Amino acid sequence: MVEKELLKQWDKEYFWHPFTQMKVYREEDNVIVERGEGNYIYDIFGNKYLDGVSSLWCNVHGHNHPKLNQAICNQVSKISHFTTLGASNVPAILLAKKLTEITPEGLNKVFYSEDGSEAMEIAIKIAYHYWHNRGFKEKNKFITLNEAYHGDTIGSVSVGGINIFHEKYRPLLFDVYKLPSPYLKAVEIAGREKALEYETTKKLIEEVEEFVFQHHQTVAGFVLEAGVQGAAGILPFPKGYLKEIERICREYNILMIVDEVATGFGKTGEMFASIKENVKPDIMALGKGITGGYLPLAATLTTDEIFNAFLGEFGEAKHFYHGHTYTGNPVACNVALANIDLFEEEKTLENVRKNIEILEKRLPEFLELNHVIDVRNYGIMAGVELVKDKKSKEPYPYGERTGFKVAKAMMKRGVWVRPLGDVMVIMPPLSIKEDELNYFLDALKESIVEVCGN
C-alpha cells in the first residue's frame, strides 16, 4: 500500500488536473478520494464529505450503488469491449432502444461517444453534414449564445461563449453567429425580479427572430443548452424561451440542437429539460448522468429524417465519417441501462421534485446576506452569486478566489463543492435526502458569512 503522504506528493508531481491552476494546486492541501458511499465521499485519511457537486454534475443515485456495481461486474464477466465499427453488442442495442423511448418524440437514432464534448461535436458535424448531403451547402453556420458552454473540443468550443474558457483558442475556431445570453439580456431589459417572466421572453424573441430572418439561409443549426446555461453560473432561460426557439427553427428551416448533457437524467424534475419545456429537438446531446456517474458514456440522438439523409450507395460516400475506439462500450451501456431502471425502482424523480421545493423555499434566505446579489435555480441546479458590494454590484477581484475560499470553508463543515468563479453551485446527487440538502444549505450560508461577512 502506497503511503498517503507519498500519494499527495505524486498527485502534485505527475497528475495535470483539468480546469486547474497547477501552481496554486501544488501549494495547497487537496482531497484525494479513496471511496464513496451513498451521497458521500471519503478521502485517504478517512474524512467524510457530502458530495455537493454530484461528481461534476453526473452522479444520480449516489456512490457505490449495489445495482450499478453489479451491472458493471455482470458485463465485465462477459466482454469488456469490442468495436462497434461494423459490429454491435447487446447492451449498446438495448440502451439505444431505451433512449429512444424516454427522450422526446421523434429522436429515433442514437450515436454513442464517451463524453458531453464529443456528443456535441458529433451533433455539430451531423447538422453540417446533413445539409451538405441534401445539397444545401450554403447552410454551414451555427447560431449560438453568449455565455454558452458545450464542451472543450474544437467544435464544441466554437459554439461556446464563455470568454475566460474559450477566448485563448479563438484562432483555432470556426465562425458562428452569436446572440445574447437569455438570462443576462432579460435582466438588462426587465431587472432580476422580472427577468424570467414570459413578457420578458417576448421582448427577447423579437430580437432573435429578426436576426434569424436575416441569416436563416446560411444557418445549419441553432445550438443551445436546455433551459439553463450551467457553466456560466446557472443562468436559467426566461419562461417559454426554449419553446419559442423551437418555433423559430421550424419556421425558418433550421435544425434545433439541444445540449442536455448537464440537464438530462432528472435534474429538472422531469427526465429531460426538453420534456419539461415541451420541445422536440432535431438533435439532442446526452452525457454526465447517462451512466449514473459511473463510467464515461455519451449519446447524440437525432430524427429519422436526418438519419435518412446519410443513406445511399457506398460509392456516394454519404455515410457519417465519425467514430471512436470505445464508441458504444458494452460495460458503460450496461450500467446506463441499470441507471435508467433505478429511476423507476427508487422513485428518483419524485425525490428530485420534493428537493426542488425545499431548494426554492430556502434560496431566498441567501438574499438576506450582504454579499449575495442573486440566487438562481433550474430544477435542482442552483447558483448563489457573491459580490464584494451589493449596492454597487462590484464583484470580488477574480484573483481573490472568494468562491474557492467559501468552498474551503464548506469542507470544514463536511461538504465538498466546486464553485464557478464566485457563483456557489448547488448540484447534489439526485438521491440526496431532505436532511442532507438542508445541511448542505446551512453549511453554505455559514461558510459565506465566515468568508464574506454577514
Which CATH number is associated with domain 70-345? Answer: 3.40.640.10
Alpha helices in 88-176 (DSSP H): 90-102, 116-133, 154-158, 163-166
Q: How far is CA 344 from CA 19, 269, 328, 334, in A?
A: 35, 13, 24, 17
Cα separation of 126 and 130, whole Å?
A: 6
Q: Which residues of 130-146 are buried (b: 16+ CB within 10 A; e: fewer)?
A: bbebeeeeebebbbbbb
Q: Which residues of 366-381 are buried (b: 16+ CB within 10 A; e: fewer)?
A: beebebbbbbbbbbbb
Cα separation of 406 and 10, whole Å?
A: 27
Q: Which residues are annotated as a binding site for pyridoxal 5'-phosphate?
A: 116-117, 259, 324-325
Q: Which residues are annotated as a binding site for substrate?
A: 149, 288, 323, 418
Residue 399's pLDDT is: 93
Residue 194's pLDDT is: 95
Q: Which residues of 96-108 are buried (b: 16+ CB within 10 A; e: fewer)?
A: bebbbeebbeebb
- 45 phi and psi angles, rounded to 5 deg: -100, 5
If you ran DSSP here, which 8-state letter would residue 420 be given?
Answer: B
Q: Which residues are annotated as a binding site?
A: 116-117, 149, 259, 288, 323-325, 418
Cα separation of 118 and 165, whole Å?
A: 17
Residue 454's pLDDT is: 82
In the structure grid, which three cell numbers stand for residue 69, read together?
456495481
Question: Phi-psi region for residue 382, left (φ > 0), alpha (ψ -120 to 50) or beta?
Answer: beta
Which CATH number is associated with domain 31-61+347-452? Answer: 3.90.1150.10
Residue 382's pLDDT is: 99
Residue 18's pLDDT is: 97
- pLDDT, one tens digit for every residue, the chain (454 residues): 689 999 999 999 999 999 999 999 999 999 999 999 999 999 999 999 999 999 999 999 999 999 999 999 999 999 999 999 999 999 999 999 999 999 999 999 999 999 999 999 999 999 999 999 999 999 999 999 999 999 999 999 999 999 999 999 999 999 999 999 999 999 999 999 999 999 999 999 999 999 999 999 999 999 999 999 999 999 999 999 999 999 999 999 999 999 999 999 999 999 999 999 999 999 999 999 999 999 999 999 999 999 999 999 999 999 999 999 999 999 999 999 999 999 999 999 999 999 999 999 999 999 999 999 999 999 999 999 999 999 999 999 999 999 999 999 999 999 999 999 999 999 999 999 999 999 999 999 999 999 999 8
pTM beyond 0.95: the answer is yes
Residue 374's pLDDT is: 98
Residue 427's pLDDT is: 98
Task: Tell me whether domains 31-61+347-452 and 70-345 share a fold.
Answer: no
Contacts of 360 (CB under 8 A, 6+ apart): 377
Contact 301, 107 (CB under 8 A): yes
Q: Which DSSP string corresponds to 246-298?
A: HHHHHHTT-EEEEE-TTTTTTTTSSS-HHHHTT---SEEEE-GGGGTTSS--E
- Determine whether 168 is exposed, middle or buried from the number of CB atoms within 10 Å of its CB (0-12, 13-18, 19+): exposed
End-to-end CA separation in angstroms for the chain: 46
Return the number of other C-beta atoms located less than 10 Å from residue 260's C-beta: 31
Residue 248's pLDDT is: 99
Return the number of other C-beta atoms located less than 10 Å from residue 329's C-beta: 27
**Domain extents in the chain:** 31-61+347-452, 70-345
